[in-house]
Homo-oligomer: A and B are copies of this chain.
Amino acid sequence: MTLFALDPRLEADTLAIGNWPLCRVLLMNDARYPWLILVPRRVGLVEIIDLGPSERTMLMEEIARASEVLRAWPGVTKINVGALGNIVGQLHVHVIGRSPSDPAWPGPVWGHSPRRPYAAGEAEG
């Protein structure tokens, strides 16, 4: 039996928030953007279509839940959702709160510039 394990790069770049019914929920350790990452806790997934229909529905509802959290964040005016995986192969979905005053606006955040980790205590609360 193979157990779910988070990709080491995702683990290094994020802070764990907890588990939702399908996904491990991570906070990207980049203080410039409110940025959640959802990782379905299944072994060997690469694409969204590696999930079956009922799990895809769960994933969509967890994307919606993350979006609602971020839409309530101060300053957020747009939600960006993306599943790329060109660098980290393990299926993961980014849900990011964007603002016209953020560094990458209006472009995508991926590949824009190195992340700026939260200071000690800054990601709490």
Does A64 contact B48, Cβ atoms closer than 8 Å? yes
Complex CA gap A46/B49 in Å reads 24
Query: A64 contacts B56, CB within 8 Å?
Result: yes
| Cα–Cα distance between A61 and B87 once the two chains are bound (Å) | 25
Q: Which residues of B sit under 8 angstroms from A71, Cβ to Cβ? A: 47, 49
**How extensive is the interface on chain A, given as a class?**
20 to 34
Q: Are B60 and A56 in contact (CB under 8 A)?
A: yes
> CA of A55 to CA of B59 in the docked complex: distance in angstroms?
14
Q: Which one, B53, B56, B59, B108, contacts A82 given CB within 8 A?
A: B108
Contact A86 B107 (CB under 8 A): yes
Q: Which residues of B contact A68 (CB under 8 A)?
A: 49
Interface residues of A (CB under 8 A from B): 46-49, 53, 56-57, 59-61, 63-64, 67-68, 71, 78-87, 98, 105-108, 110-111
